[in-house]
Amino acid sequence: MSIHEQMAALARQAKDASRLMAKAPGAAKDKALAILAGLLESRADFIAEANAKDIAQAQSAGMDSAKLDRLRLTPKVLASMAKACLDVAAMDDPVGAIETMWQRPNGLMVGKMRIPLGVVCMIYESRPNVTVDSAILCLKAGNAVVLRGGSEAFHSNMALAGLLSQALEEAGLPGGAVRLVDTTDRAAVPALCKLDEFIDVMIPRGGEGLIRSVVEAATMPVLKHYKGVCHLFVDEDADLANAVTVADNGKCQRPGVCNALECLLVHEKAAKAFLPMVASALGGKGVEFRACPASLPLLGPTAKPATDADWGYEFLDYVLAVRVVSGMDQALEHIAAYGSNHTECILTSNHGRAMRFLREADASMVGINCSTRFNDGGELGLGAEIGISTSKLHAYGPMGLKELTSLKFVAFGQGQVRA
């Protein structure tokens, strides 16, 4: 059987299961998620053993520390995954909800009802926790999901997908609603991208190269973001001590993730006082600064002159671009030129400037006096997320339950006919 035939068979099974999931009672879906939470705890040793195989292979292959961090399923990560299952189970079921209703002059009542997307195909790299986070959202929203994780997490993903199917079956739901691609053959991805008769939407999650290859190959809609070039603008009247803390959190907490801070914009009136503080706090943690001419002498020994390539670059490492700007106008111009529509934040005590930034910065999340790291489904109250979309159709920002549904029109009449 060819790889295309294998993928077609797998996607057809998911399509069949999606029809059952679309009509599944909310209580059954919640039961499956609760069972899965228990399995993540009771089978922790089994998961750790599978993850250890992936870690050993990745270390032998010379994987860098940031990617190893994403690959590792620590007890803390497993506990977070189990909590996400329970959090999503506790959320309202969006399927079947009628969100708006209006009456036409002829008495016909017209509304919109939330329905599942159908079959969601996830293409992702490194992070095996995505297997659970994406699947539980898809399932709660009444979808089936096809999962194609990276080869570096193959054993971890196989273990987690098995537990997902087990939880579904114990809850009386089709285990085939979760289908993991059980081959590391790279030809599987382009094959999946052509199966629009079975797969309703693709969601690639990983490096820019992966996402662009899926977008180019797919014959179905793709929800995507290419990269996370996130900016923090420190205004002239920002609380500078707090600004250091926020910048530190954005850059240093987890530098290898898409909502990490990549560029610091500083108002020229705050630069002389603020940037030496940044140099001490972040430079002391090993952050290398790529600095504009005005910021370079203020950032200490770990600063290097910025090149044009540093603006708009996603470092995913302990590297931070820094630019001194004349004010709000120049900050917004820089973001418009180099941002990736992911996350933009401002630190200011001026309400008017804060609200202007909120309106004019074009990103899937814009924040006032907070870290860029909050652009995350769990942190924003979505329970978990399947990814962050930086395209405005059909979703913009972290994708939770509602973003994994669509809306259909419904009409309630008493025998009306069209004139």
User: Do residue 211 and residue 241 come from a single domain?
Assistant: no
Please check whether residues 53 and 170 belong to one and the same domain: yes
Residue 62 one-letter amino acid: G
Answer yes or no: is 393 within a domain. no
Any domain includes 381: no
- Kindly state whether residues 201 and 267 are assigned to the same domain: no
Shared domain for 324 and 210, answered yes or no, is no
Residue 392 lies in a domain: no
Nearest alpha-carbon partner for 205 in 226, 182, 181:
226
- H-run or E-run covering 113: strand 109-116
Closest-CA residue to 288 (of 266, 246, 296, 339): 296
* Strand ranges inside 357-399, DSSP E: 365-368, 388-389, 397-398
What CATH number is attached to the domain comprising 47? 3.40.605.10
- Residues 318-344: b if buried by 16+ CB within 10 A, e if exposed: bbbbbbbbeebebbbebbeebbbbbbb
> Model pTM?
0.88
Residue 384 belongs to some domain of the structure: no
Write down how long the chain is: 419
Q: Are residues 83 and 134 in the same domain?
A: yes
- Whether residue 238 is found in the same domain as residue 123: no
For 121, the enclosing helix (H) or strand (E) is: strand 119-124
- Shared domain for 90 and 56, answered yes or no, is yes
CATH number at residue 357: 3.40.309.10
Query: At CA 166, angle to CA 160 and CA 167, rounded to 5?
Result: 90
State the chain's maximal CA–CA distance in angstroms. 79
Q: Give a yes or no: residue 369 inside a domain.
A: yes
56 and 98 assigned to the same domain: yes
User: Is 385 contained in some domain?
Assistant: no
Could you say which DSSP state residue 205 is in?
E
252 with 360, same domain: the answer is yes
- How high is the mean pLDDT in each 10-residue block of the chain (419 residues)? 96 98 98 98 98 96 86 95 94 95 97 98 91 95 97 96 98 98 95 98 91 96 93 98 98 94 98 98 97 98 98 97 98 98 98 98 98 94 87 90 96 95
What is the number of structural domains in the chain?
2
CA 49/CA 78 separation, integer angstroms: 13
CA dist 187 → 6, 183, 184, 194, 235 (Å): 11, 10, 9, 12, 49
Residues 212 and 234 in one domain: no
In terms of domains, do 206 and 332 share one? no
Q: Say if 27 falls within a structural domain.
A: yes
29 and 145 share one domain = yes
Residue 246 maps to a domain: yes
Could you list the residue range(s) of the whole structural domain that residue 274 is in? 230-374
Q: Give the pLDDT confidence score for residue 323 in this predicted structure.
A: 98
